[in-house]
Amino acid sequence: MVRPILSPAERARGRRLGAALRRARGDRSMVDVAIAAGIPVETLRKIETGRIATPAFFTVAALGGVLGLDLASLVAEVALPEVAPAADAATA
Amino acid sequence: MVRPILSPAERARGRRLGAALRRARGDRSMVDVAIAAGIPVETLRKIETGRIATPAFFTVAALGGVLGLDLASLVAEVALPEVAPAADAATA
DNA sequence: CATGACCGTTATACTAATACCGGTATAACA
DNA sequence: TGTTATACCGGTATTAGTATAACGGTCATG
């Protein structure tokens, strides 16, 4: 009946999302990107560090736009390993 | 210092997002789509009716996947009219 | 040593996500 | 007509969590 707490898998996905965004940011400063996306730097920092595991849609969309990311690919990249694919390319 | 309340423009954008999702759903039932996306029907209903103006990224992503929507297009479609484009195709 | 960029923590207001209730509308059917 | 079933809506309640800000700390680099 109430909002269930985020599962460890969802937390991990948040961390992956943050890592992907940080990677895409490259050597640009957080301030620069945050301003470009129209969000506070503090919020960007929390998202990148994974402390915000389920950010708002439009926030991520704005960041994706600024960073030149394809949202669909981004989702696929950090998706939950629900079915646990046989071969993972992460460590390979 | 605290989270500012959502602006009317953001509320309106939420309504547009919901409308777009409902349009994409077509004649499929809410229950059907919600289950497919892995979210509760109540949540889908709230998003479609615009009562959740800034839904979570992964929630919208899941719906977009089920409904075969391109997230980038979806964002562009419901984007805030910040710069107010000269010609709108809505009523034209 | 000063500046710039980032991190970690703390605090708080507002919101998403969720569930349950009764209500409305339509369609099928006895 | 009355009943049943499906589908959607609006309101309410509750908790977890985002979004946000401010402070101080760290680590480079100049």
In a domain, A85, yes or no: no
* Domain CATH number, residue B33: 1.10.260.40
Any domain includes B13: yes
Looking at the structure of chain B, the number of domains it has is: 1
Query: By three-state DSSP, how is residue A56 classified?
Result: strand
pLDDT for res B79: 86
Give the HSE-up count for residue B56: Cα atoms under 13 Å, Cβ half-sphere. Answer: 16
pLDDT tens-digit profile, chain A (92 residues): 788 999 999 999 999 999 999 999 999 999 999 999 999 999 999 999 999 999 999 999 999 999 999 999 999 999 877 655 554 444 43
Question: What is the pLDDT at residue B83?
Answer: 54
In chain A, which residues have their Cβ closer than 8 Å to the Cβ of B57? 17, 54-57, 59-61
Q: What's the pLDDT at B40?
A: 95
Residues in chain A within 8 Å Cβ distance of B68: none
- For residue A2, the model assigns a pLDDT of 84
Does the beta-carbon distance from B58 to A54 stay under 8 Å?
Answer: yes
Question: Does any domain span residue A89?
Answer: no
Task: Answer yes or no: is B82 within a domain.
Answer: no
Predicted pLDDT at B56: 97
pLDDT of residue A79: 87
**How far in angstroms lies nucleotide C4's C1' from the CA of residue A41?**
15
Shortest distance, CA A33 to any CA of chain B (angstroms): 18
Q: What integer pLDDT is reported at residue A71 of this predicted model?
A: 95
CA B39 to chain centre: 14
Tell me the CA distances in angstroms from B6 to A60, B3, B10, B11, one per residue in order: 17, 9, 6, 7
Which residue range is the domain that position A46 belongs to? 8-78
Q: How far is A80 from chain B (nearest CA, A)?
A: 10
Give the per-residue pLDDT at A64. 96
CA atom of A1 to C1′ atom of C7, Å: 36
Test mutation, B57, B70, B75, chain A, max A CBs within 10 A: B57
Contact call for residues A58 and B59 (beta carbons, < 8 A): no
> What does the pLDDT read at residue A83?
56
> Which residue ranges in chain B fall short of pLDDT 70?
1, 82-92
Give the separation between CA A45 and CA A7, rounded to whole angstroms. 21
> CA B14, CA A60: separation in Å to the nearest integer?
15
